[in-house]
Amino acid sequence: MKPAGVDVIAIDGPGGVGKSTTGKRLAERLGYYFLSSGMIYRAMALHLLDLGWRVESGAPSADEVELALKGMEIRVAAGGRVWVGAKDVTDALRDEEVSGAASILSALPAVRARCNQIQRKTVAGIGATGAYPGVVLEGRDIGTVVYPDAPHKFFLTAREEVRAQRRFAELHGADPQATLGSVREALLERDARDAGRALAPLIPAPDARIVDTSDLTLEQVLDGILADLRA
């Protein structure tokens, strides 16, 4: 699917590589809208958790998902704040329970279809209004599924130990009980689940530029991406 009247920069990759931070800063530099597919999946997961579903119960049925998502409105503001209806849920989306739930739900066709619909509707709306020259779209299958014809695609990666340390530093303030070992285990578990699923597996698009952020500062990552965009 081609972007509707607006430039799209796709940033994909696993957790802990700096996708969200890079995407937000890149959008600020370019004056683009920032949209995170991960936050949309987490918002859906939070909604189902609030309705009583628990990860220990296994994936919900298609009927349960359809009922839970029916009429639910998710909106992502340009700065990355996420709203479900009239409620700003952004701060609650970093919870590890929500993250684990989102990983399970993201394997369900109905959930992925709804998330893709929200992303494409948002991008189309931005293109129609002309309020922003482009969108930085961050996720795990943007360049392969959501916008395979996006003109700019980047796949961020990093060494396993670096990713675990980054995620641990990010979560430790909010969850003092988190350990580096538990964070690393959760990352590897999600990697295996995302890469092994039949529907939209976590893989780089054939034409994506691979960026290893292991030994780079944020500014170096941004400078490299901007240089590639200007080439």
Query: Domain for residue 231, yes or no?
Result: no
Whether pLDDT at 53 is above 60 = yes
Query: Domain for residue 123, yes or no?
Result: yes
Query: Domain for residue 229, yes or no?
Result: no
Query: Domain for residue 158, yes or no?
Result: yes
Query: Domain for residue 169, yes or no?
Result: yes
> What CA–CA distance (Å, rounded) separates 48 from 60?
9
How many separate domains does the chain show? 1
Which residue range is the domain that position 81 belongs to?
7-222
Contact 155, 13 (CB under 8 A): yes
Query: Domain for residue 215, yes or no?
Result: yes
Residue 174: predicted pLDDT: 66
Q: What is the DSSP string of 72-122?
A: --EEE-TTS-EEETTEE-GGGGG-HHHHHHHHHHTTSHHHHHHHHHHHHHH
* % of residues, the chain, pLDDT over 70: 97
At 112, which CATH number?
3.40.50.300
Secondary structure of residue 147 in the 3-state scheme: coil
Residue 209: predicted pLDDT: 97
> What CA–CA distance (Å, rounded) separates 178 from 96?
9
> What CA–CA distance (Å, rounded) separates 119 from 216?
29
